[in-house]
Structure 1
Amino acid sequence: MVKERVTVIDIAHAAGVSKSTVSLVLQGSSLVNEATRAKVNAAIRDLGYVYNRGAANLRQSKSKIIGIVVNDLTNSFFAELAVGVDAVVQSAGFVQFLANTGEKIERQREVVASMREHGVSGLIISPARGTEAADLAPLVESGIPVVLVVRDIAGANVSSLISDNHAGAVAAVRHLIERGHQRIAFLGGFSDTAVFEARMRGYRDALVEAGMPVSESLIIGSAPSRAGGVTAVEQAMMLADRPTAALCFNDAVAFGVCDGLRARRLEPGADFAVIGFDDVIEAKTAVPALTTVSVDPQGMGQRAAELLLKQIKAGKAEPEAIVGSVRLVVRQSCGAAVERKREALA
C-alpha cells in the first residue's frame, strides 16, 4: 500500500495553525513566534513531511497578480478603493486578489504570506492597526513592490499614498465655525492610528486658529464604523453642555451619528451639523446629503495601482511618498446654523 503524501494542510491541522503559518515557518520567516514555530516543526517531524523547495520557488515566481490587503472591508471606502485599483491593473493585464484583515495583524501576516505563495507581482496594503516597519521588512527584503494606502508606517521603506488629513480637518472645522458653531465635537476613530492623529491635529489647529478652546470632553473616539458613530454621538449628547456640530472621523461614523441623532428626534442638518470624511458614493445620496471631506477613494486606488505598476515595470521598488489633496464638499448635513437654532428656541 502506497503511503499518501503529507501536505502543508496536514501539517497545519496537526499543529493547530493555518496553512499560511506553516508556509512562513518553512520559509524561515521571522514573523512566526518561537512557540508556534516549535509546534509546526514538531508536526513536520512527526508526519515525516519533506519540503520541496524547488517546487516552492516555482510557485513563488512572479505572476500577473496584484494583491490588495485592506483593514476593514465593511467600510465602503475600501470597496471603492479596490474598484479604482482594478480599473488600472485590469487594463495592464493584471488581476487583483483582495483580502480583508479586520484590523488583525496575525490575519494580515497570513494573507500576505498566502499571496506571496501565489507569486504576486506587488502588494497594495492598508495596514492593520499596530502594524510596524518590522512587519513589512520581509517584503522589502524580498524585493516585492509595496504601496501603503490610507495609513503610512514610519521607517517602512516602502511607497505610500495618503490623503492630506490635516488640511481636510482644518477646512471642515473652519466651515462649521463660519456657520456660528462654538461647541464642535470630533467623533469616532481609533486614537492609535496616524490618520486619527492627523485629522485630530487639524481639528485642534482650526479651533486654536479661531481663538476657541479645545475641550477634551468633545473628543470622543469609537470604532470607525456606523455603529461607532451611534455610540459616539450618544456620549456627546449626554454632556451637560452639548455640541451643536461634529466633524466625524469618516463617512461611516457620520452616517452612524445621523442615526443616533434621529433616535433622539434630532434631525441632522436641521438640528445638528454633521461633516464626514472620505466622500464615499452613499454620501451624495444620503438624506440629508452628507457634507464631507472628499479624498476620492476610487482615484486613490487608481493612483496606488499606477505607482505599483511603475515599480513592477522598473524591476525595483524605489520608495515614493505621496500626499493627495482633499476638498470640502458642502451638502445639506451641515446646514444647522446656531443662529437659526437659537431663533427657534426663543
Structure 2
Amino acid sequence: MTASDPPGPRLPNSPPPAGRSRVTLQVIAERLSVSTATVSLALRGSQLVAEATRHRVREIAREMGYSYNRSAASLRTDRTNIIGVGFHDITNPYFAELLAAIDETAGRYDRSILLGTYAEDLDRQQRVLGTLAEYRPDGMVLCSAGGSTVESLAPLIDAGVPIVQLSREIPALDLDFVGADDRHGTNLAMEHLIGLGHRRIAFLCANESISTGRNRYAGYRDALARHGLPFDPALVHFDYGTRENGLKGIQKVLDAHDPPTAAACMNDLAAFGAMLGLRHRGLEAGRDFSIVGCDDVKEAAQWFPALTTIFNFQNDMGAKSAEFLLNRIADPTAPTQRLLLTPALHIRGTTCPPPRR
C-alpha cells in the first residue's frame, strides 16, 4: 500500500493503528466486556479481581500495546508499587542471592524493585539513598555501609519512609530487621575446628564497623574463652571480607611467631582468598590447614576442595525482608518485627585435623 492509498478495513476488536489513538482502560474494558474499574484493579494486581481475570487483562493489554501510566496511578493511590533496595555491595554473591529473593517475593505481590549501591562509602550512601527517595518508593530494604549511624538514615526516617534493615543493622534504630544469628554461626565454626583438635585458630577479616562483623568476631572470642584457649591478636586480621583481604590475612597470620593451623573467616569471599593464599605457600585447605567460611554462597560447593562454611539461609532472609516491608507499608503503626535466622554448619572438604608438627 502506498502513502496515497486509503486505509484498509480494521477487524473488530483489533488494536488501533499506531499514531491514531492511544490504548486506554476503556478500550481494554470494551475488548473484554468488563468495567474500566476491573481493568484498573487487574493492572495494579489487586486481589479483588480473580487471578484468571488479572492474567487475561494483562495479556490483552500487552497485545494492544497498552502502557501503564505509573506516575498517574501513584497520584491516585499514593502508592508507586516500587520497593527501594539499598545495598553496599552486589559483587559479593551473598548479596546477589539476597537481592534475587527480594525481587522474587516483591514480584509475587506485583511490586518492582529499584536498586542503589554505595560500596562502603558513607557519602555515596547518602547520595544514593537520597536519589532512591526521589522516586517515591513505598518503602526500602537497606543493608547499610560500614560505619553507618542513626544519622545516616535520619533523612529517610524523618520523611516517613518505611524501612527494613537486612543482614546488617544499626542497633539504636527501632526498625524492622531480618538477619542471621551471626554470633551463633561463628560459634558453630569454632566448635567444629576445636572438635577436630585445632588450638591455634585465626579469624580473618574481622570488622567491628558493621553489626555482622561485630557479632561474628564476638562468636570467635566467645568460643576461645569457653574452651580456655588464649586469645592472640597476631591471629586476627581486621578488614572487610573480600578475596583480596582474605589472601592478605592468611599470609599475615601464617607469618606469626606461632602460626595457626586453622582459620574462621568473616565470609566466603575471605575464605576463597585464604584458600588461594595457602596455595601461594604450597599448602592446601583440607590437607595442611583448615578453613571455614560463612554465608554458603553457591560457589562454595563448587570450589575444590569444596568449602566448609556456615549457611545463613539467605533466600529466606531476603524473602522475609520483603514481606516485613510490605507489612510495614500496609500498617506503619504495627509493632517492630525482628527475625534472626539460625545458621547451619555445612561440612565439606576444607577442614581436617591439624597436621602433626
Distance 1:157 1:268, change over 3 A: same
Instruction: Report the equivalent of 1:203.
Output: 220
CA distance in 2, matches of 1:225, 1:264: 19
Q: Does 1:116 align with 2:128?
A: no
Amino acid at match of 1:256: G
CA distance in 1, matches of 2:167, 2:147: 14
Aligned pairs for 1:22-101 within 5 A: 61-101=78-118
How far does residue 229 in structure 1 lie from its aligned partner after superposition?
A: 0.3
Check the 8 A contact 2:241/2:270 in 1, yes or no: yes
Instruction: Report the equivalent of 1:279.
Output: 296
Check the 8 A contact 1:134/1:156 in 2, yes or no: no
CA distance in 1, matches of 2:79, 2:305: 48
Instruction: Report the equivalent of 2:22.
Output: none
Instruction: Report the equivalent of 1:324.
Output: 341
Check the 8 A contact 2:206/2:217 in 1, yes or no: no
Amino acid at match of 2:118: T
How far does residue 108 in structure 1 lie from its aligned partner after superposition?
A: 1.3
Give unpaired runs (5+ residues) of structure 1: 1-54
Q: Partner of 1:128: helix, strand, or coil?
A: coil
Find the partner of 1:256 among 250, 253, 273.
273
Find the partner of 1:171 among 185, 188, 196.
188
- Number of aligned positions between the proteins: 285
Instruction: Report the equivalent of 2:283.
Output: 266
Distance 1:192 1:207, change over 3 A: same
Aligned pairs for 1:116-155 within 5 A: 116-155=133-172
How far does residue 95 in structure 1 lie from its aligned partner after superposition?
A: 0.7
CA distance in 2, matches of 1:64, 1:208: 49
CA distance in 2, matches of 1:96, 1:317: 23
Taking structure 1 as the reference length, the TM-score comes to: 0.79
Q: Which moved more, 1:131-140 or 1:304-313?
A: 131-140
CA distance in 2, matches of 1:59, 1:278: 43
Instruction: Report the equivalent of 1:162.
Output: 179
Q: Does 1:292 align with 2:309?
A: yes
How far does residue 60 in structure 1 lie from its aligned partner after superposition?
A: 12
Q: Which has the higher helix share?
A: 1
CA distance in 2, matches of 1:153, 1:226: 26
Q: Partner of 1:188: helix, strand, or coil?
A: strand
Identical residues among aligned pairs (%) = 35
CA distance in 2, matches of 1:118, 1:131: 23
Distance 1:197 1:315, change over 3 A: closer
Find the partner of 1:105 among 104, 108, 122.
122
How far does residue 219 in structure 1 lie from its aligned partner after superposition?
A: 1.2
Amino acid at match of 2:353: A
Q: Partner of 1:333: helix, strand, or coil?
A: coil
Q: Partner of 2:256: helix, strand, or coil?
A: coil
How far does residue 223 in structure 1 lie from its aligned partner after superposition?
A: 2.6
Check the 8 A contact 2:116/2:132 in 1, yes or no: no
Distance 1:119 1:171, change over 3 A: same
Q: Partner of 2:278: helix, strand, or coil?
A: helix
Q: Which moved more, 1:194-203 or 1:133-142?
A: 133-142
CA distance in 1, matches of 2:308, 2:238: 20
Give unpaired runs (5+ residues) of structure 2: 1-71
CA distance in 2, matches of 1:112, 1:223: 22
CA distance in 1, matches of 2:115, 2:333: 23
How far does residue 315 in structure 1 lie from its aligned partner after superposition?
A: 4.4
How far does residue 206 in structure 1 lie from its aligned partner after superposition?
A: 0.9
Find the partner of 1:303 among 312, 317, 320.
320
How big is each residue's C-alpha offset from its partner over 1:266-299, in whole Å with a ceiling of 9 and x where there is no partner? Answer: 0111111000011111111111111111102222
Amino acid at match of 1:337: P
Q: Does 1:231 align with 2:248?
A: yes
Q: Partner of 2:79: helix, strand, or coil?
A: coil
CA distance in 2, matches of 1:81, 1:156: 22
How far does residue 154 in structure 1 lie from its aligned partner after superposition?
A: 2.4
Amino acid at match of 1:143: G
Find the partner of 1:188 among 201, 205, 225.
205
Instruction: Report the equivalent of 1:337.
Output: 353
CA distance in 2, matches of 1:219, 1:164: 21
Check the 8 A contact 2:85/2:141 in 1, yes or no: yes
Check the 8 A contact 1:136/1:156 in 2, yes or no: no
Amino acid at match of 1:115: L
Distance 1:262 1:122, change over 3 A: same
Distance 1:216 1:100, change over 3 A: same
How big is each residue's C-alpha offset from its partner over 1:231-260, in whole Å with a ceiling of 9 and x where there is no partner? Answer: 100101111211000000000000000010
Instruction: Report the equivalent of 1:245.
Output: 262
How far does residue 316 in structure 1 lie from its aligned partner after superposition?
A: 4.2
Q: Partner of 1:266: helix, strand, or coil?
A: coil
Check the 8 A contact 2:179/2:341 in 1, yes or no: yes
Alpha-carbon RMSD across the aligned residues, in angstroms, is 1.9
Q: Partner of 1:67: helix, strand, or coil?
A: strand
